[in-house]
């Protein structure tokens, strides 16, 4: 068996993050996050199911998400995720890994300070600009400085 439920759930969480970075519909983002929770909680591995037509019977999983699950199980990849990854700057995705940095905060930095990667964030911290952005108080700035230390 190649792909596990946790892997599928991680893909759906990443799609939710990338859609959030792009400012997509909250309903669409929520659907992916809900699907990730459902898939994580399943007692049986989706890859072990004989019939992919059972996927839509799961709560929160419609035909579109069921097709994505089937593609992941069959190929180990998801074209929709690859397309989203190409649409979002790699540096912005990297910022999501920093403590306290979720999609909304990264999107705020991209829009307000044109922060596209860790180097831009370091400059914004050093110049004091980051402190002028709502939601980026002293504690968060200290955590980011620590995380960005080379």
CATH of 5-86, one of 2.40.30.20, 1.10.150.130, 1.10.150.110, 3.40.640.10: 1.10.150.110
Q: What are the residue ranges spanned by the domains of the chain? A: 5-86, 90-148
User: From CA 78, how far away is CA 75, in angstroms rounded?
Assistant: 8
Give residue 150's pLDDT.
64
Question: Are 92 and 98 within 8 A, CB to CB?
Answer: no
CA angle (139, 141, 98) in 5-degree steps: 105
Report the CATH architecture of 90-148: Orthogonal Bundle (1.10)
Same fold? 5-86, 90-148:
yes
Give residue 51's pLDDT.
74
Say what the pTM is.
0.85
Give residue 82's pLDDT.
97
Give residue 32's pLDDT.
96
Neighbours of 95 (CB within 10 A): 25
21-38 exposure pattern, b = at least 16 Cβ within 10 A, e = fewer: beeeeeeebebbbbbbeb
Question: Are 41 and 61 within 8 A, CB to CB?
Answer: no
Per-residue pLDDT of the chain (150 residues; tens, 9 = 90+): 589 999 999 999 999 999 999 999 999 999 999 999 999 999 989 988 877 777 777 888 888 999 999 999 999 999 999 999 999 988 999 999 999 999 999 999 999 999 999 999 999 999 999 999 999 999 999 999 999 996
Give residue 1's pLDDT.
55
Question: Are 146 and 100 within 8 A, CB to CB?
Answer: no
């Amino acid at each position: 068996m190649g792909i596990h439920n946790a892997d599928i759930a991680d893909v759906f969480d990443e799609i939710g993050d990338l859609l959030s970075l792009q400012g997509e519909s909250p309903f669409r983002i929520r659907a992916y996050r809900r699907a990730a929770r459902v898939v994580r909680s399943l007692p049986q591995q989706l890859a072990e199911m004989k019939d992919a037509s059972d996927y839509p019977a799961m709560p929160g999983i419609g035909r579109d998400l069921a097709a994505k699950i089937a593609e992941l199980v069959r190929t180990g990849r998801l074209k929709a995720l690859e397309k989203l990854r190409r649409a979002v700057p790699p540096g912005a995705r990297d910022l999501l890994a920093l403590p306290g940095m979720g999609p909304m905060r990264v999107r705020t930095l991209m829009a307000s300070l044109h922060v596209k990667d860790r180097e831009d964030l370091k400059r914004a911290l050093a110049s004091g600009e980051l402190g002028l952005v709502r939601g980026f108080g002293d504690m968060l700035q200290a955590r980011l400085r620590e995380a960005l230390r080379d």
